[in-house]
Structure 1
Amino acid sequence: MTAPALPRKTLGGLAVPPLALGSWNTWDRMDPDDAVAMIRRAADLDAGFFDVAYYNMGPHAENSRTDILFGQALRESGVGRDEIVLCGKLWLWDWPRQSFRAQLTESLERAGLERFDTLVVGDYATEPDVARIVADVNALVGEGLVGGWGINNWRIEHTRAALAAASDAGLVGPSFAQLKYGIARRAMAEGASYGPLFADGTLALQASDVFEGGILATGRTPGRKIGADVGGIRARIAALYPEVARIAAGFGVTPAALGIAFCLTHPAAANVLFGASRMEQLEQNHAALALVAERGPEVREALAGLQADVDVRDDGAW
């Protein structure tokens, strides 16, 4: 097994690999044999953290089979459950009518799993009942269905309210924030709202949507559905690609590996979540680990002027 180039950090109460593979529009775009090989290689490359979400409600009511296909590939891979970290997802779009327990049970059954190591409580469209969210997640923790949890792009006041509610009730609060973060989008992860929670160790950071749907990895906007354009700045981000590619070439890596390396230079970043549907992508992205270990400050300096969301609010209330 290849030795990791970076020490593991804690996310959701676990020491996790610095590279994490997402599930949206990935496993359902692969040949089954390729998916099996991807899982095996991810475990070797310190990328054995898998985000396993069932996309079935709200803006993600896609009835995707990506989670089912992942579960099948995992079983066929022969990779031991203790060799990987599995992260589930709960959605607030139809909660509490569709309970967290019902969501998690269905998600585990679809993927053929017994439990998740941690999970992310997804974004929302209406004012959330934070105290109830905390209580409902803790019921799952109590049942042994999950070990810990984090939040996804929440407004800072709701994240702080969840931390306070958990503390007051003696319950497990969110231990990490999955935020849009990358070369171009830095406002939430580096701003004054979430910054103190990262700085004092209250939360770890899981960087997601780091390539802006692939734009900063390839220079192209994919035809498939990609993440929301928060702040309406996607055109600005696309315009940055030539410079990102130039800088990446100077470091001898792909633009994608450069983007991952940038995220891992954030002091609170536990890992970076990305989609890979080809083995070549995983292999190339792994180069980010050595780049951070050997030249992290140089990466940060080289990309200092490429932030595109300087005028976007950093508290999640867009």
Structure 2
Amino acid sequence: MEFAERVPRRRLGVHGPEVPLLSLGSWNTWDRMDRDDAAELVRLAVDRGVDMFDVAHYNFGPHAENAVTDVLFGQAVRDAGIAREDYLLCGKLWLWEYPASSFAEQIKVSLGRIGTDHADMVVVGDFMERPDLKAVVRDVSELVRAGRFKAWGVNNWSAGDVLFACRFATAEGLVPPTFAQLKYNLARRSVPEGDLYGRLFSEEGLALQASDVLEGGILAGKLDPQRKIGADPGGIRDRIRAALPEIRRIADGFGVTPAQLAIAFTLAYPAVSNVLVGVSRIGQFEDNLAALGLCARRGDELREAVAGLWLDEGVVDPAASWGTDAPTAPKDTAPCR
């Protein structure tokens, strides 16, 4: 494996920590592994420098499924003998039942289920109806000041909503978001590569944390994943399945697997600080790690090779989110840098 040494790192936005290029998600992963295998994977990941874990309490809104994947992750860390200071934890705060379910109570329960008293960063989840964004920024900032975590980002918000949160935080002396966790893969490019988010990345110092990079496994060659996977903005998932033979052809031309092609494509986008992948086997983990070398060697070349597979172009609005149009951002405030 080309990166037998520790995996390279990039800063997660101006206000965020340095994170490994590859990080491990938790949705429908740890609950698909044997206990010993989970501990082995955690130990191997930390040894290789893949020491950031995105872990959430999935029991809100569409995720109200009583999953225990977060509990199992905490168990795996303890079984592996990993000290809390030896890994980065990215938690989630959900807006589905906010403010009735306060962020303070959510983080208390979530961290307690994992077995720690603090995260390193959190992602504030998506929404159908916009909450009071000023209250969101205030409440998140209060938890930063309370030592619950040090940085925060957003999940699938519109660029307008992120700009509002960023500028409001700056104007009020609060903590601005430092990254956006967005669906981003070789087929889904319209929002992360759109002009609106492009300005956030270049002018506001925001970082992109890429999720759904393998489309729930479809871009790795699993046409019908046997687990729940993310939403399908634009209704293009069947088109992604139909494109798999072409994806395999291109991957074969580079001498790599489809998963490696997909991960390397995403990492080669300059705004990306790191990508989240879900693995449940050591073999998957090793395969995904090999994408880092591919990106370093041939990133620009492979992005050009898959240019015709941009399947949500003209289908998904680059300004879109689960919410509605953004409120007006405070004027005459400095960027979040």
Q: What TM-score results when the alignment is normalised by the length of structure 1?
A: 0.96
The answer on 1:140 being equivalent to 2:143 is yes
Q: Which has the higher contact order (CA 8 A, sep 6+)?
A: 2
Q: CA offset at residue 214 of structure 1?
A: 1.1
2:51 aligned residue (36, 42, 48): 48
| Aligned residue number for residue 112 of structure 2 | 109
After superposition, the C-alpha distances for 1:73-111 in whole angstroms (9 at most, x for unaligned) are 101112232332110000000000000000000000001
Q: Is the 8 Å Cα contact of residues 188 and 314 (structure 1) preserved in structure 2? A: yes
DSSP-derived class of the 2:123 partner: strand
Q: Distance in 2 between matches of 1:281 and 1:108?
A: 27
The answer on 1:267 being equivalent to 2:270 is yes
Q: CA offset at residue 249 of structure 1?
A: 2.0
| Aligned residue number for residue 8 of structure 1 | 10
The residue type paired with residue 250 of structure 1 is G
Q: Is the 8 Å Cα contact of residues 9 and 18 (structure 1) preserved in structure 2? A: no
Q: Please, which moves more after superposition, 61-70 or 291-300?
A: 291-300
DSSP-derived class of the 1:44 partner: helix
DSSP-derived class of the 1:225 partner: coil
| Aligned residue number for residue 296 of structure 2 | 293
Q: CA offset at residue 142 of structure 1?
A: 0.6
Q: CA offset at residue 4 of structure 1?
A: 3.9
| Aligned residue number for residue 183 of structure 1 | 186
How many residue pairs match? The answer is 318
Identity of aligned residues (%): 54
The answer on 1:316 being equivalent to 2:320 is yes
The residue type paired with residue 173 of structure 1 is P
DSSP-derived class of the 1:190 partner: coil
Q: Is the 8 Å Cα contact of residues 122 and 151 (structure 1) preserved in structure 2? A: yes
Q: Distance in 1 between matches of 2:41 and 2:251?
A: 24
Q: Is the 8 Å Cα contact of residues 276 and 282 (structure 1) preserved in structure 2? A: yes
Q: Is the 8 Å Cα contact of residues 264 and 292 (structure 1) preserved in structure 2? A: yes
The answer on 1:80 being equivalent to 2:83 is yes
| Aligned residue number for residue 73 of structure 2 | 70
The answer on 1:161 being equivalent to 2:161 is no
Q: Distance in 1 between matches of 2:290 and 2:111?
A: 32
Q: Distance in 1 between matches of 2:108 and 2:7?
A: 36
Q: Is the 8 Å Cα contact of residues 2 and 44 (structure 1) preserved in structure 2? A: no
DSSP-derived class of the 2:309 partner: coil
The residue type paired with residue 300 of structure 2 is P
Q: Is the 8 Å Cα contact of residues 219 and 241 (structure 1) preserved in structure 2? A: no
Q: CA offset at residue 143 of structure 1?
A: 0.5
| Aligned residue number for residue 239 of structure 2 | 236
Q: CA offset at residue 179 of structure 1?
A: 0.3
Q: CA offset at residue 202 of structure 1?
A: 2.0
Q: Is the 8 Å Cα contact of residues 153 and 177 (structure 2) preserved in structure 1? A: yes
The answer on 1:252 being equivalent to 2:277 is no
The residue type paired with residue 82 of structure 1 is E
Q: CA offset at residue 201 of structure 1?
A: 5.0
Q: Please, which moves more after superposition, 221-230 or 91-100?
A: 221-230
Q: CA offset at residue 5 of structure 1?
A: 5.6
Q: Distance in 1 between matches of 2:176 and 2:252?
A: 42
Q: Tell me the C-alpha RMSD between the 2 structures.
A: 1.4
Q: Please, which moves more after superposition, 89-98 or 219-228?
A: 219-228
Q: Distance in 1 between matches of 2:16 and 2:217?
A: 30
The answer on 1:196 being equivalent to 2:189 is no
Q: CA offset at residue 199 of structure 1?
A: 2.1
Alignment gaps of 5+ in structure 2? 323-337
Q: Is the 8 Å Cα contact of residues 37 and 77 (structure 1) preserved in structure 2? A: yes
Q: Distance in 2 between matches of 1:245 and 1:79?
A: 37
After superposition, the C-alpha distances for 1:50-70 in whole angstroms (9 at most, x for unaligned) are 001000110000110000000
The residue type paired with residue 162 of structure 2 is T
The residue type paired with residue 166 of structure 1 is A
DSSP-derived class of the 2:122 partner: strand
Alignment gaps of 5+ in structure 1? none
Provide runs of 4+ in structure 1 moved above 3 Å.
4-7
Q: Distance in 2 between matches of 1:315 and 1:262?
A: 22
Q: Is the 8 Å Cα contact of residues 190 and 313 (structure 2) preserved in structure 1? A: yes
Q: Distance in 1 between matches of 2:256 and 2:288?
A: 8
Q: Is the 8 Å Cα contact of residues 213 and 221 (structure 1) preserved in structure 2? A: no
Q: Distance in 2 between matches of 1:248 and 1:167?
A: 44
Q: Distance in 2 between matches of 1:290 and 1:201?
A: 29
The residue type paired with residue 258 of structure 2 is P
Q: Distance in 2 between matches of 1:23 and 1:7?
A: 20
DSSP-derived class of the 1:119 partner: strand
Q: Distance in 1 between matches of 2:277 and 2:201?
A: 21
